[in-house]
Structure 1
Amino acid sequence: MEDLNSNHINGSIKKMNFILLCSGLIVQGKKLTQIKKIKSRLIYIINFLWLNSDLLGAICWFIDGIKNGKTFVEVTYIAPCITFSFLANFKAIFIIYYEDNIRDLINDLLELEDRDKKIDVKRDGLRNDALNFLHLILKSSFVLNLVLIIAFTIGPFIVIATIYIKTKEVDLLLPFLIKYPFDSHDIRYWPFVYVHQFWSVAIVLVNICGADHLLYICCTHLRVQFSLLQYDLSNIVNKNSYLSNHDLGLVETELVELIKWHQALIKLSNKLEVIYSKSTLYNFISSSVLICLTGFNVVAIQNVAIAFMFLVFLSASLLQIYLLCFFGDLLMNSTMEVRDAVYNCKWYYLNAKIRKNLIIVHSRAQEPCKLTAFGFSDVNLRAFMSILSSSWSYFALLKTVYNPVKN
């Protein structure tokens, strides 16, 4: 049998150790020593200053571009990157702000998992299927973001090589249009600026991945707990006949424990909502604009290498908001399925007192535990479809307004 410790939430968090190390975010159950905490904070502060120096330069370029009559394509080239950078900042800041809540959430999940000593093939199957799927998603997300970093790193080199082949001239290009207090295209500064922009991209992605992957992990482990609760509720009566007083006493005792378990999971779901609701609100607001502008760049930019960069960027943006909504939807559905488990638990063999308790559990399960965008919208697949609909509307409007200058 697989070691149960491998199923603990800490085991899942270890899958994202590299991301957490690079981002400087602290995500674990036990309290860090003062030295480790200082090291982690130092990494985060360095990354924060590094990223936002480029973000400030990008905003300055964007403003100057509008003032100086830059083309619409040039202006929209940097806009998605600015939006994504703000998203990375928001996500990292709220992870640090709710650090104690996260630690409590992880410890509470660990406590629930440690309490589960039942040995059952079906229960283990429910757990392992969910965790295997989670780890597949974490790996796939990491690979796509790695491809995004490589695309934005290699893209300008491909353009430089193409220009050199055609004109025999070297035009030093950078991944992003950012204003610096010096000539960034000067060969003396260009290598440093290139590396600086490359690491800024990496910081954005590790900050977003760190926050999002933690959400996926918490949603999955909560879903596992709800699934095990459903399984135990469905099988609380294992006989096909009316029970003796002794059997009814055992069922009532077990039901009390299951109700306490259900209440604990509701509290943990609410705690997860508190941690993520504010950053999710910005994520929802920005995603429609981000997807719209990135899609527009893919269509409008003539250079194939640069267009491919934004195509990968678009894929990453779509995957990011889809997975956020997908795991929110999984959590919501798993909480509502508790009512079906209550209905299917052979309640008709039980006495009136136990039935009343089951009715209370059934009534509470009608109201799902859910993640929201700070109360404005539920985080589920329906919200994802709304974001896609809004993005398409903005994209169609942008294509209608944009009128490229023809030679």
Structure 2
Amino acid sequence: MTSLYRKFLFKKKLKQRIDERVYNKSDYDASYAPTKKVLGWVAIRMTHNISEKTTMLWDMFYWFEMMNLFLVGPSELVSMLTTAYEAKTFRDSIKVFRTMPCFGCVVLSMFKSIKMVVHRPVYENLANELREMWPEGEVSEEEHQIISAALKQLNFIVKGYYWCNNALLISFLSPPYFITLARYFGYDSPMGLHFLYWLPFDPYQSVYYEITLVLQTWHALVVIWFNVAWDMLFCLFLCHITTQFDLLARRVQRLFYVQVDNQLVRSYPMASVSREFIQTEGERVNSYGAQYWEARHQKEITEIVLRHHSLIRLTGDVENMFSLALLINFMNSSIIICFCGFCCVLIEKWNEVAYKSFLVTALSQTWLLCWYGQKLIDSSQRLADALYGCGWYNSSKRARSAVLIMLHRAQKGIYVTTHGFSVISLASYSTIIKTAWSYFTLLLNFFKEKSVN
């Protein structure tokens, strides 16, 4: 009975492991669910199957949002210029630093969202082509580890980033409502708004104040959700592209069989691949002739080359759609990190969290983009390493030529840039932090000198 029970448990665990290694398109679609939800909140459709009438309504609402932001941006700019002009001391001009991060986010969100709407077919093609590449059915254990690790990371990062921005919204938008509620119950609290708009009327009058507060809240939600949706799309595309690069590298590793002998030591990685090759192929390794293996290698190499070209092309689409916005994003991030840090140190009280949330969100957002850029570089390099170490020298002349050509292309590396100025990587993140810190220390020293004088 004990042995039967053990066999039953073994079969059950084996079935569970096999089921875990089975993938379909729904797994890919699920990774887009949070992003599509945020896009829906700001009336941007992406791979939605809806009627033309519904599409027109979505577009009308989107351009209504944009019209509001087109009014908000100049209003904040005029407010900043007016504050700077009327400031008599450096301390009076500090109010400009509180407005500048908000103004930068508005401009950035407008640029990002317009890109998504105007070039929607390109974004949808990226999503659809990567969906077609998604593996279906049972995969090997190594491929399962690659896919599951990528999906877990993506799920954790996307949800974490989503809630981080929601926390920013709550911390930044809730204080005026608490003040309004306190005033309603008779407490004498000074009225406050989220942003310093320039308005042709006094926004602190009764009724005007409530309307302005609600409008500013809506503007803040739209701006943050525009930025969040764009960032999540960038991470999604790079996550799936890097996953495909890793799967392709794994496929390349198993392309050729190299016999384990005195030259190929058993402890080498290629030897383990050869042993796995024997386990999967069995008698065919030695029984099939050179003509069979050459035809098979040629077929697999053709598929690998086509997939490699597709991934390079899709990375180029990501570069075209995201690079200019990334440049503006990183410039804005340097300013936000600098001025929010300045406000946290000198303006905001220790128990206030509005600009601290702004600072944490800016740091995490910049790191997130750079981290996925680094993953793309690393995954493309792993493909080059796999091509170099796949045992190509043990194949036919035709196969060797094809692999060497692909190796030459793979060694160039794949990456996304800030419109050609710099490569998106963790090195870029350190550069941004150094730049922001330099601005911060310069501003802080200037403030101290003015305070002494």
C-alpha distance 79-163 of structure 1, shift in aligned 2 (>3 A): farther
| Residue aligning to 1:155 | 175
SS of 2:362's equivalent in the other structure is helix
- TM-score, normalised by the number of residues in structure 2: 0.83
Does structure 1 residue 96 correspond to structure 2 residue 114?
A: no
Deviations 1:237-264 (A, max 9, x none): 2452697412233122211211111111
In 2, the alpha carbon distance for the partners of 1:118 and 1:335 equals 25
C-alpha distance 309-274 of structure 1, shift in aligned 2 (>3 A): same
In 1, the alpha carbon distance for the partners of 2:356 and 2:112 equals 23
In 2, the alpha carbon distance for the partners of 1:31 and 1:370 equals 32
| Residue aligning to 2:81 | 63
Say whether the 8 Å CA contact 2:111–2:325 is kept in structure 1: yes
* Amino acid paired to 1:35: K
Question: How far does residue 162 in structure 1 lie from its aligned partner after superposition?
Answer: 9.9
Question: How far does residue 338 in structure 1 lie from its aligned partner after superposition?
Answer: 0.7
Deviations 1:303-345 (A, max 9, x none): 345x420000011111111111111111121112111111221
| Residue aligning to 1:129 | 149
SS of 1:197's equivalent in the other structure is helix
Correspondence list, 1:316-335, <5 A? 316-335=361-380
Deviations 1:334-389 (A, max 9, x none): 11211111122122321232122211111111111211111111111111111111
In 1, the alpha carbon distance for the partners of 2:206 and 2:365 equals 36
The counterpart of 2:46, out of the listed 6, 27, 48, is: 27
Question: How far does residue 43 in structure 1 lie from its aligned partner after superposition?
Answer: 2.3
The counterpart of 1:15, out of the listed 34, 37, 43, is: 34
Does structure 1 residue 297 correspond to structure 2 residue 357?
A: no
Question: How far does residue 161 in structure 1 lie from its aligned partner after superposition?
Answer: 8.9
Question: How far does residue 148 in structure 1 lie from its aligned partner after superposition?
Answer: 0.6
In 2, the alpha carbon distance for the partners of 1:168 and 1:125 equals 59
In 2, the alpha carbon distance for the partners of 1:378 and 1:97 equals 25
Say whether the 8 Å CA contact 2:36–2:45 is kept in structure 1: no
SS of 1:27's equivalent in the other structure is coil
| Residue aligning to 1:53 | 71
Does structure 1 residue 386 correspond to structure 2 residue 431?
A: yes
In 2, the alpha carbon distance for the partners of 1:405 and 1:43 equals 48
SS of 1:220's equivalent in the other structure is helix
C-alpha distance 376-177 of structure 1, shift in aligned 2 (>3 A): same
Question: Unpaired runs of 5+ in structure 1?
Answer: none
Say whether the 8 Å CA contact 2:179–2:189 is kept in structure 1: no
Point out the structure with max Rg over C-alpha: 2
| Residue aligning to 2:203 | 184
SS of 1:222's equivalent in the other structure is helix
Correspondence list, 1:210-221, <5 A? 210-221=229-240
Correspondence list, 1:149-298, <5 A? 149-156=169-176, 169-238=188-257, 240=259, 244-245=289-290, 246-298=292-344
| Residue aligning to 2:12 | none
Question: How far does residue 302 in structure 1 lie from its aligned partner after superposition?
Answer: 4.4
C-alpha distance 13-101 of structure 1, shift in aligned 2 (>3 A): same
In 1, the alpha carbon distance for the partners of 2:379 and 2:112 equals 25
| Residue aligning to 2:267 | none
Question: Unpaired runs of 5+ in structure 2?
Answer: 1-18, 261-284
Question: How far does residue 80 in structure 1 lie from its aligned partner after superposition?
Answer: 0.9
Question: How far does residue 215 in structure 1 lie from its aligned partner after superposition?
Answer: 0.8
| Residue aligning to 1:109 | 130
C-alpha distance 249-232 of structure 1, shift in aligned 2 (>3 A): same
* Amino acid paired to 1:99: R
In 1, the alpha carbon distance for the partners of 2:72 and 2:384 equals 51
Say whether the 8 Å CA contact 2:39–2:45 is kept in structure 1: yes
Deviation larger for 68-77 or 133-142: 68-77
Question: How far does residue 157 in structure 1 lie from its aligned partner after superposition?
Answer: 5.1
Question: How far does residue 209 in structure 1 lie from its aligned partner after superposition?
Answer: 0.8
C-alpha distance 125-266 of structure 1, shift in aligned 2 (>3 A): same
C-alpha distance 59-294 of structure 1, shift in aligned 2 (>3 A): same
Deviations 1:187-238 (A, max 9, x none): 3221221111111111111100111111111101111111110000001124
Say whether the 8 Å CA contact 2:35–2:229 is kept in structure 1: yes
Aligned CA-pair RMSD = 2.5
Question: How far does residue 66 in structure 1 lie from its aligned partner after superposition?
Answer: 1.3
Correspondence list, 1:321-360, <5 A? 321-360=366-405
Say whether the 8 Å CA contact 1:25–1:210 is kept in structure 2: no
Say whether the 8 Å CA contact 2:348–2:355 is kept in structure 1: no
